[in-house]
Amino acid sequence: MKRLKYLAFALGIIFLSVYLYQHFIYYMIPFNPIEEYATESPVDFHLTHNLSDGEEINAKSHDQKTCDLILEYLSNLNLKPLKDKDARNALAKKENEGYITGMLKLDQSREIFISDLFIDDPDVLHISSSIAGFKGEGYYKIVDSTFDYDYIINLIGKEEK
């Protein structure tokens, strides 16, 4: 009987710990899912700036050196996961603003996508991927800085000259 009490208590502590981690602690720990791919050599990068009037400005790079610098920049961003509710609240205020989407292609079938990055306040973004087993799909807040859109455009612009 005493063992059963200890077992029930231990299981309760385990379930409580898992619940607290999944719903609170996970969102406090900085995590950048792109960092895992920082040593790879991407084959190209596409960026689309969607203006508030519906017009699109596209930029792309196939240069290995430029793509490596872009991957390095993206993998060095200090990101914290956001709960879906917090992300929706942050994005609801930005409904009619211009935003950025991007795709970093690692090879024919592996791509990392960045979306919902608003130009006027580029501190929240969505990361997803076509990579099987990709850890970290979701919304992230950029901590201690904002996304440097101009840096990426200047890298691609230097390549095109």
Is the pLDDT reported for residue 37 higher than 70?
Answer: yes
**pLDDT of 105-123, one tens digit each?**
998 889 999 998 888 778 8
Which residue in this structure is represented by tokens 């502590």?
A: 13
**pLDDT of 70-84, one tens digit each?**
999 999 999 999 988
- The mean pLDDT value of the chain amounts to 87
Question: Tell me, what's the pLDDT at 32?
Answer: 93
Tokens representing 157 are 């612009």
Percent of the chain with pLDDT over 70: 96
Give the pLDDT band of residue 161 (cuts 50, 70, 90).
very low
Phi-psi region of 113 (alpha: psi -120 to 50; beta: other; left: phi over 0): beta
Lowest mean pLDDT among 94-98, 126-130, 132-136: 94-98
**pLDDT of 38-54, one tens digit each?**
998 898 999 988 887 77
Phi-psi region of 71 (alpha: psi -120 to 50; beta: other; left: phi over 0): alpha
Q: Residue 129 and residue 134: Cα distance in Å, rounded?
A: 7
